[in-house]
Chain A
Amino acid sequence: MAGNVARPNHLASPRGAVTGSIGRVIAYVVLIVIAVAIIYPLVWMTLNGFKSNAELFGDAWGLPTKWRWENFVKAWNLGVVRYLLNSVIVTGASVVTTILFSSLAAYALTRLRIPFAGAITVLLLGGMMLAPTVALIPLFRLIQALHIFDTYWALIILYTAFRIPFTVFLIRAYMITLSREMEDAAIVDGASRWQVFWLVVMPLCRPIIVSAALLQALFAWNEFVFALVFISDTNLKTLPVGLLAMQGRVLSDWPVLFAALTMAAIPMIVLFLLGQRQFIRGLSEGFGK
């Protein structure tokens, strides 16, 4: 039965190898069809960025007759550069604050005997159940009362606050599994809690910090509701909202919009391809207990 196909992971093979090999071919065809269906729209988006309007409307499936990089230049100058910069600032800042505050809290919850530890754990982790939409209306008032409406601060603060629960959850679970030998040794050697945190624990937590940072970056980069409601100045809009505004600004020069969409999609795809393992570890640590 076995042996006709190299199968390193299988010592035994399932019954019915002949029907199995037909099944295998069918399965591969299905997998490939799904892969094409998933990736083709993105390829189409990119190709459309190089077309002229006439080509787009004349032959939607066709290739561009020449590579019109000028569409990308135009999209860049029409706003993509501005939105990209805003997204980088808001995402970068919220990654730093979320990771910092979550790590501090996770360390205290797993290593220090703080008062009300149980209640604080419930408070921090329970926040995972509360969605941004549910808080949107009161936040509209609060953000205005704090005079941070239409500032980066509104988004940085909200992206941090709403993601601390999940990030604490990730980092805390990881810290619980860490051996304390090195920390104890450092304390015996006279290190303060603060030094232990920065010089021993944080370096040991590097893998989960990288995963948590990637997931936070993905969230902040793509967040839409808060970015839509709390930013009205076009110069401060992040990509998800800015692109929507660009739809009206390209004046029906649709290939320019496609060029903008393509450029906006690239950073996260690249980040994912580079950090795929860390991404998936974050997901599995977060959900796969």
Chain B
Amino acid sequence: MSEASRLGRWSMLLWVAPAVVLLAVFVYYPVVDNILLSLYRWDAFSPKDVWVGLDNYVNLAADPVFWSALFNNVAYAVVSVVVQVGGGLTLAAVLEELVHGRLKGFFRTVYFIPAVISLTITGLLFQFIYNPQIGLLNQLLGGLGLGALEHSWLGESATAIWSIIAMSQWQSIGYVMVLFIVAMQRIPRELYEAAYIDGATRPQAFRRITVPLVREMSVLAMIITVSGAFLVFNEVQVMTAGGPNNSSHTLGTWLYKSAFFNDQMGYAAAIAVVIFLITITVSIVQLFLNRGKVVQY
């Protein structure tokens, strides 16, 4: 290779340089730095870091708020998989199979709309829906004769996180449903024709054709909802900021509060490491599953 063309080949790195530099400086470096920072005690305004080894992690393990935040993330993940993936799959199948033409587009659009709205907007909106005085939820329960079930939904430790999780299902189910619709539209109609000629019912066709052939999307939807559940921040910060009594924290909001209110930056970095380990594990599981057996059509 001549000197000139070798130079030419290296100069082609300029094409990727902006992307690589931005990623290296603002994504990879901070993620690695975060692991180091979790080994120090430091706060936002003193530049002096004190090496504390694994102390932050020891404190983490003994911190009840950390465990309840982790539990809340797990609850978020479990409910989201059942409602969004299970419900989204069912809704998509019903829409694809039973509804045709413009009506199908109408339902799809309506279900999807909340997913494009900022979580701050929906969070503030649901603060009012859950409001004990003017809130729609208590009034609805009262109107149905279920007044005994009324709560100060976001104001009680027992109900706060579940109320937030419920809001999140309302907001995101349409998004997951659209992912399934996209996958289902790739299934050849002939498979259903053949099954129906052989005397299959719709539920049978759903179980034996639709579900196996959207398996890949189901895995992907689960990965998206689970890793999303461990990154939840916006809606909790808006609706309760982790309260009452720190009962509705997620790892994200507890990290934020530790860093910027309690001024324990090293401790917050340790929480970030935990979030990192969880989300990276989920990603690796996805890579692993994608290489596995996939139903072909």
Contacts and interface: CB of A to CB of B under 8 A. Distances in A.
Nearest to A114: B12
Contacts of B133: 57
B260 interface: yes
Contacts of B113: 38-39, 42, 269, 272
Contacts of A283: 178-179, 182
B233 interface: yes
B39 interface: no
A120 B20 CA distance: 8
A137 B269 contact: yes
B280 A129 contact: yes
B145 interface: no
B107 A10 contact: no
A35 interface: yes
A287 B95 CA distance: 20
A136 B272 contact: yes
Contacts of A195: none
Interface in B97-128: 98-100, 107, 109-114, 116-122, 124-126, 128
B196 interface: yes
B4 interface: no
A209 interface: no
A174 interface: no
Label chain B's interface by main secondary structure.
helix
B237 A14 contact: no
B286 to A, nearest CB: 9
Interface string A129-142: 11101111111101
Interface in A33-62: 34-35, 37-39, 41-42, 44-45, 48, 56-57, 60-61
Nearest to A266: B117
B26 A115 contact: no
Contact of B233 (A100, A129, A224): A224
A107 B15 contact: yes
Nearest to B23: A127
B16, B91, B124, B200: residue with the most chain A Cβ atoms closer than 10 Å: B16
B202 A23 contact: yes
A158 interface: yes
Nearest to A222: B118
Interface string B1-33: 000000001101101101110111111111101
Interface residues of B, number: 96
Nearest to B234: A224
Given A14-B200, A38-B113, A138-B34, A229 B260 contact: yes
Nearest to B47: A141
A191 interface: no
A165 B9 contact: no
A104 B16 contact: yes
A198 to B, nearest CB: 13
Contacts, number: 278
B120 A129 contact: no
Given A15-B201, A114-B9, A168-B19, A131 B231 contact: yes
B27 to A, nearest CB: 5
In this complex, the interface size class of chain A, counting residues with CB under 8 Å from chain B, is 35 or more
A288 B196 contact: no
Nearest to B283: A129
A261 B125 contact: yes
B254 to A, nearest CB: 11
Contacts of A44: 125, 129, 136
B187 to A, nearest CB: 12
A118 interface: no
Nearest to B143: A61
Nearest to B205: A14
A157 interface: yes
Contacts of A35: 107, 110-111
B183 A288 contact: yes
Contacts of B283: 128-129
Interface in B189-233: 189, 192-194, 196-197, 199-202, 204-205, 217, 220, 224, 227, 231, 233
B275 interface: yes
A225 B30 CA distance: 15
A142 B107 CA distance: 45
A-B pairs, top 9 by smallest CB distance, nearest first, are: A108-B15, A135-B30, A161-B26, A138-B30, A284-B182, A12-B196, A138-B33, A105-B19, A224-B234
Interface of A: 7-16, 20, 23-24, 27-28, 30-31, 34-35, 37-39, 41-42, 44-45, 48, 56-57, 60-61, 100-102, 104-105, 107-109, 112-115, 120, 123-124, 127-131, 133-140, 142, 157-158, 160-162, 164-165, 168, 218, 221-222, 224-225, 228-229, 239-241, 243-244, 247, 254, 257-258, 261, 264-265, 268-269, 271-273, 276, 280, 283-284, 287-288
22 contacts: A9-B189, A13-B196, A14-B200, A16-B201, A35-B111, A38-B110, A39-B110, A41-B122, A41-B136, A102-B19, A105-B16, A108-B12, A113-B9, A115-B12, A129-B280, A131-B227, A133-B252, A162-B26, A224-B234, A243-B124, A244-B238, A261-B125
